Amino acid sequence: MSYLVQLLIFGITGSLVYYGVYYGTPLLIKKGVPLIYAFWFFLWFPVMSLFPISLLLYHLEGNTWTWQNFLERFRFNPLTENDWYWVVGAIVFTIFFDQLLEPLGKFFARFPILAPPSYLPAPFNPLKRMELPPSEFFGVTLYGNWKILPIFIPLHLFAMLSEEIMWRGFFLPIQQEIFGNWAWVVNGLLWAWVIHACLKWHFINMLPSMLIAPWIAQFTNSTWASFATHSIGNSLLWILLLVGVIKKAKPQNINII
């Protein structure tokens, strides 16, 4: 597959997400659409669309529609016990550097050209203080709101799976043929600076997590490894939501810091 096609798919997806975060979401909010629907629609729709697009690309390659061939092409190879040790290490690495480099996000977010949209709440907006336990999630009250978990978590999982199928399952093997051992770097930088361009204040501190996913997929030769690293790392958000659902937050003001 040519460089142009790869850049086109990465670029279109990243552009749609960027537009949705900075322009689409505010537009829907002005029209009365609740923030939680407006934001996550624009964030997830382009990403979830990667699943059927990856199947179309699989077909255009001339692959046969058998389960075994699908698993082999997208590198859903079983993980060994040793692979899981590396996955756990990758998850710890991601969480550690996310916390270590968090001040960088706050620093860059103060520059107008890199600032997050004003509607974006904590913890996504580094300029807003996070309540613990959280009382709201994108304008939706959390305490006692158990239905948010069985809705949000499966959708979040499918969005991450769609990404892994496309970026690591479909594209990474192609990029390895072109870039060899450095394919994970190319894959990770495209994922960080094109797909996640909407998080522009995180352009430095996102790199560890964005590079570790393609690295672990290439190292283990398994998309399951990057999916596990990606999803388990992001499951901290689910824990935060669960805490908010279980425990009622004390009334307090969210200050700009």
Question: What spatial distance separates the first Cα and last Cα of the chain, rounded to whole Å?
Answer: 47
Per-residue pLDDT reduced to its tens digit, 174-206: 999 999 999 999 999 999 999 999 999 999 999
> What domain count does the chain have?
1
Q: Is 255 part of any domain? A: no
* pLDDT of 130: 86
Predicted local distance difference test score (pLDDT) of residue 257: 42
| Residues 201 and 186: beta-carbon distance below 8 Å | no
Alpha carbon 54 to its chain centroid, in Å, reads 17
Question: Is position 183 within any domain?
Answer: yes
User: Is residue 172 situated within a structural domain?
Assistant: yes
CA pair distance 78, 221, nearest whole angstrom: 9
Residue 146 has pLDDT above 80, yes or no: yes
- 184 part of a folded domain: yes
Q: Which domain holds residue 98?
A: 3-246
Amino acid sitting at position 161? L
Average per-residue pLDDT for the chain = 94
**Rounded to whole angstroms, how far apart are CA atoms 129 and 255?**
6
Does residue 253 form part of some domain?
no
125 lies in some domain = yes
Residue 196 inside a domain? The answer is yes
CA geometry: angle 101, 105, 111, nearest 5 deg: 145
Scan for tokens 């389960």, then name that residue. 67
Q: Which of 224, 200, 229 is nearest to 212 (CA)?
A: 229
Confidence of residue 209 (pLDDT cuts 50, 70, 90): very high
Q: 0.75 exceeded by the pTM?
A: yes
pLDDT at residue 127 greater than cutoff 60: yes
Flag whether pLDDT at 126 surpasses 50: yes
Amino acid in the structure at residue 138:
F
Cβ–Cβ under 8 Å, residues 134 and 38: no
In a domain, 252, yes or no: no
Per residue in 84-108, pLDDT tens? 999 999 999 999 999 999 999 999 9
